Amino acid sequence: MIPTSFLTAMNTIAMAMIGLTLIAITTISVTTVAMTVSYARRRRVPSIRSSIRSRASSGITPQITPRAISRIISRMTALLAASVFLFCAPRSNAAVNVDMSVSHAGPRAVEPLLERGILRDYRIAWISLAHALEFNAADALSGPFVSTARDTLMNNVSSQRRSGLSTRYLNQNHKVEAVYYAPEGDVIELHDAADYQLQILDGGKLIHDEHVVMHYVVLMTPAADHWVVRQLQAVPQF
């Protein structure tokens, strides 16, 4: 699994790259226009040459031709595309922060190892949910969700496919509190106060963009080697 800090760092780097690339492209584009004009003028009006020479002395290489500059621009554009990809690709992973408290769980105490496991699996569940609903990929739901939770989300995906919609869950923050842990450890109930940017798109068109605060009641049960979400139900409040 990719650590959150790494993904966040990647995003920052990608953002910085996008910014720098945009600045570079703008600068070079302006220069290109100026150079193209100058180049054209230089061919027709010899007196302009002197001004170009004087510019050359202030740092602009006289050998730079518009063709070379356009090559640079195309490379910068490729870099920009790469940066955008870098930024976009891991976004659904990076933007899921989960904080968990188990101090009020009972009647059975939640051991630290179990707490880490549940936190990890719940975070993975939300990453999968976000991926499934953004790209209408039902496969992502099979591992982390079972029973009602999986059926509901599967219905969402198939329904979205039919109507051409997709949903993005961006910048997710989850404050999770375990409120019940069964005596035999076969079910844990979580209360998740989550906030995220909810974007609903019809095709490529953004039809809804809202920062929402949601309250989820979650039931998780143990599977072979991990915990799965059995119930994920939004409520007005806890």
Partner 1 sequence: MRRENHPGRGFAAAAKAAVGRESGSAAVNRCATQNRIRLAFYFCLSVALSTLSASISAAQDLRAPSAVTAGEAVSISTTGSGKATFYLVGPGVSNKSDVALGNEISLRGQDLRDAGQYFAILCSDSCHSASFFVAPAKPASLAFLVHPSRVPVAASDAVSGVALAFDQFGNLNLDPGTINFQLTAGKTSLLSRDVAAHDGVAWFRTTSGKSAGPLQVVASIGELSARRNVQEVASEPCNLRIAGQRTKDGLVVQTEPVHDCAGNPVPDGTIVSFTATDASGKSTVDAPIKHGIARAEIAASGPVVVSVASGVAMGNELHIGGGQ
**Taking the complex as a whole, how short is the minimal distance between the CB of residue 119 and partner 1, in angstroms?**
19
Please give the Cα distance from 176 to 191 (Å, whole number): 6
Q: Please identify which residue in 99, 111, 139, 202 interacts with partner 1, judged by CB under 8 A.
A: 202
Q: Does 170 bind partner 1 (CB under 8 A)?
A: no
Q: Would you say the C-alpha torsion 44, 48, 54, 55 has a positive or negative sign?
A: negative
Instruction: Choose between 81 and 212: whose C-beta lies nearer to partner 1.
Output: 212
Part in contact with partner 1 (CB under 8 A); list of ranges 1-9, 26-34, 69-77, 195-203: 195-203
Structure letter (DSSP) for residue 140: G
Q: Does 189 bind partner 1 (CB under 8 A)?
A: yes
* Edge-to-edge strand list for the sheet holding 188-202: 96-101, 165-181, 188-202, 205-222, 227-235
Q: Does 183 bind partner 1 (CB under 8 A)?
A: yes
Site for partner 1 in 32-61 (CB under 8 A): none
Mask for 137-166, x = binds partner 1 (CB under 8 A): ----------xx--xxx-xx--xx--xxx-
Instruction: Choose between 186 and 225: whose C-beta lies nearer to partner 1.
Output: 186
Q: Does 135 bind partner 1 (CB under 8 A)?
A: no
Question: Residue 86: which of 4, 16, 28, 3 has the closest Cα?
Answer: 16
**Cα angle vertex 216, ends 138, 7, to 5°?**
60
Angle between helices 4-44 and 66-88 (to 10 degrees): 160
Please give the Cα distance from 24 to 80 (Å, whole number): 10
Q: Does 236 bind partner 1 (CB under 8 A)?
A: yes
Instruction: Choose between 112 and 183: whose C-beta lies nearer to partner 1.
Output: 183
Instruction: Choose between 12 and 158: whose C-beta lies nearer to partner 1.
Output: 158
Question: Residue 183: which of 238, 127, 110 has the closest Cα?
Answer: 110
Instruction: Choose between 112 and 203: whose C-beta lies nearer to partner 1.
Output: 203
Please give the Cα distance from 198 to 211 (Å, whole number): 6
Instruction: Choose between 83 and 166: whose C-beta lies nearer to partner 1.
Output: 166
Which amino acid does the sequence have at 112?
P
- Label residue 86 exposed, middle or buried (CB < 10 Å: 0-12, 13-18, 19+): middle
Q: Does 27 bind partner 1 (CB under 8 A)?
A: no
Q: Does 177 bind partner 1 (CB under 8 A)?
A: no
Size of the residue set binding partner 1 (CB under 8 A): 37
**Which residues sit at the interface with partner 1, rule CB under 8 A?**
107, 147-148, 151-153, 155-156, 159-160, 163-165, 167, 179-180, 182-184, 186-187, 189, 191, 198, 200, 202, 207-208, 210, 214, 217, 219, 231, 233-236
